[in-house]
Chains A and B, each alone.
Chain A
Amino acid sequence: MDVREEREYIERCRKGDREAFGPIVLAYRRNAYFTALGLVGNREEAYDLSQEAFVRAFRAIGRFDPTREFAPWFFRILRNLCSTALSRRSARWVGSIEEMREGGREFPAGERFRADLLAERNDEIVRVWSALGELDAPSREIIVLKDLQEHRYREIAEILDIPIGTVMSRLYNARQKLREILL
């Protein structure tokens, strides 16, 4: 879909045409799902969060500035949803530490960033994937946006709402952390 077509569909969505949102979903659904999967490391959650991001984008489409690009705006919604999901998850697990000490449940890390979420599973890739899961959320998100989803710095700055210099320094810190784990 080219930019002109995308603008036409968005304009129709702004007038309340739900069907016009279909081609936009079709164009972005894979990137949305893979971005969410890289951020939360769980298939079901990534599927649900990426769908929810489209629902929120459609609801807020009236507030979207049609002269701007749709992708960074949409991915910002998705990223915020994933951050909220991650914060809720850590709050939930802090609350159940006693339960875990009693040996009743597993730590959530075991359920996330599993090797079966990868298309190719050689030892090195599995090790990198698992290292990604060990990173703190801000470091992981910058690596996912740059190295897995291949966004340009300008787009990442827009998605995360930070200056380009901060994108570079976060990326440097995240890669240093990965280096310590992997090399």
Chain B
Amino acid sequence: MKCGDFPLKSMAYIDDEMTRGEKSEFEKHVAECARCAAELEKLRRVKKMTGRIRMADLEDQEWDRYWGGIYNRVERFLGWILLSVGAIITISWGMFHALRELLADPTVPLVVRFAIFGVVVGLAILFVSVARQRYFAWKSDPYREVKR
């Protein structure tokens, strides 16, 4: 073993992730190299210090509420999905029929029909434009594969 191998091997040694053979090879090097031995001692002290941290537990009542909170969130999520899908279908259906009746009504002035047509086409253009912009931004995002 060389001093250059020390960083990774010292971690495996103090975390007990070495085979017996690797361990004796590492110990042999440390016994011969004062610099690595001193470094190992400091790293061991750090590990000993962090290993003493014990976080305070929650109150029993908080643990009792824990599962209930999760169960409610799971249930509410299903509720939100159903509500959203139902609302989108209902609103789309209502708007489609309202527009059809309005455009078929001969008493509606031509200028209002053009205005309605403008609103519908404008909304469609805006929707396509935003969707396209989002798609290209996503495609050129260098961090899109990074798990956040």
Contact = CB atoms under 8 A, between A and B. Distances in A.
Given A172-B7, A183-B42, A38 B67 contact: no
B34 interface: no
Interface string A166-183: 001101100110110011
Contacts of B49: 124-125, 128, 178, 182
Q: On chain B, which size bracket covers the interface? A: 35 or more
A182 B50 CA distance: 11
A148 B50 contact: yes
B44 to A, nearest CB: 10
Interface SS of B by simple majority:
helix
Contacts of A117: 55-56
Interface residues of A, number: 51
B148 A47 contact: no
Interface SS of A by simple majority:
helix
A179 B45 CA distance: 9
Nearest to A121: B56
Given A152-B17, A182-B46, A183-B42, A118 B10 contact: no
Nearest to A53: B70
Interface stretch (A80-88, A92-100, A103-111): A80-88
A128 B49 CA distance: 7
